[in-house]
Amino acid sequence: MDCCAPSSIVEPAKINCPSCGEKGKSVPLITLKSLLKASFLETIEPDKPYYFCPTSSCNTVYFSGTHSQTFEEDTLKVPVFQKNSNLDIPVCYCFDWTRDRLIQAVSHNQQPIEHIKDQVQSNRCGCEVNNPQGACCLGNVTAYLRSLK
Ligand SMILES: [Zn+2]
């Protein structure tokens, strides 16, 4: 493989958010393509890497690796779990597990994490196009369930 070919340049996995200074994680382009509202989607630069900021107190959801662009929560078609503490916000976007639904399931002695894992293992999840963080929700679900105890 030619290490100098533009397509093989490895982008850093983490870059600091220009708004809060915390580390943001690289996010697949397909996530922005599926979740940004049209007028904002029309401004992205597909040859540049984008990053997701998980800081709850920071308004920026996505930013470009060069810090030339930021996208706030209202530029997305869906609310963002990390930025919004309401009970009706999804923790698991693929299978619509909101905070409220998780609370209900736990109070009825159900095992939502096992249910979600089964779906993931059956290759039914689509985190890249459903979840604003562009990655699997299981870590968030686990952390949220732990916070309820
Ligand atoms: Zn931030």
The torsion angle over the Cα atoms of residues 109, 111, 115 and 120, rounded to 10 degrees, is 160
CA of 63 to the centre of ligand 1 (A): 9
> Other CB atoms closer than 10 Å to residue 41's CB: what's the count?
15
Question: What is the distance in A from the centroid of ligand 1 to the CA of 43?
Answer: 20
CA of 42 to the centre of ligand 1 (A): 22
- Give the domain range for residue 100: 81-148
Within a domain: 26: yes
Q: Are residues 67 and 15 in the same domain?
A: yes
Nearest to 51 by CA among 36, 59, 63, 41: 63
Q: 10 vs 127, which has greater pLDDT? A: 127
The reported pLDDT for the residue numbered 2 is 46
Q: Mean pLDDT, to the nearest integer, of 13-33?
A: 96
Q: What share of the chain is helix, strand, coil (3-state, %, to 5)?
A: 35, 15, 45
Question: How many Å lie between the centroid of ligand 1 and the Cα of residue 117?
Answer: 29
Dihedral class, residue 87 (left if φ above 0, else alpha if ψ from -120 to 50, else beta): alpha
CA 3 to ligand 1 center in whole angstroms? 32
Residues found in the chain: 149
Tell me the backbone φ, ψ of residue 28, rounded to 5 degrees: -65, 145
Q: Euclidean distance between the first and final Cα of the chain, in Å?
A: 50
6 CA distance to ligand 1 middle (Å): 28
Task: Tell me: pLDDT of 52 over 50.
Answer: yes
Residues with CB under 5 A from ligand 1 (ion): 17, 19-20, 53, 55, 58, 60
Ligand 1 centre and the CA of 50: distance in Å? 13
**Which CATH number do you get for residue 41?**
2.20.25.270
Are 40 and 75 spatial neighbours (Cβ–Cβ below 8 Å)?
A: yes
Q: pLDDT tens digits for 53-82?
A: 999 999 999 999 999 999 999 999 999 999
Q: How many domains does the chain have?
A: 2
* 123 occurs within a structural domain: yes
Cα-based torsion angle of the residue sequence 86, 88, 94, 95 in order, rounded to the nearest 10 degrees: 140
What is the model's pLDDT at position 149? 81
Is the pLDDT assigned to residue 130 strictly greater than 60? Answer: yes
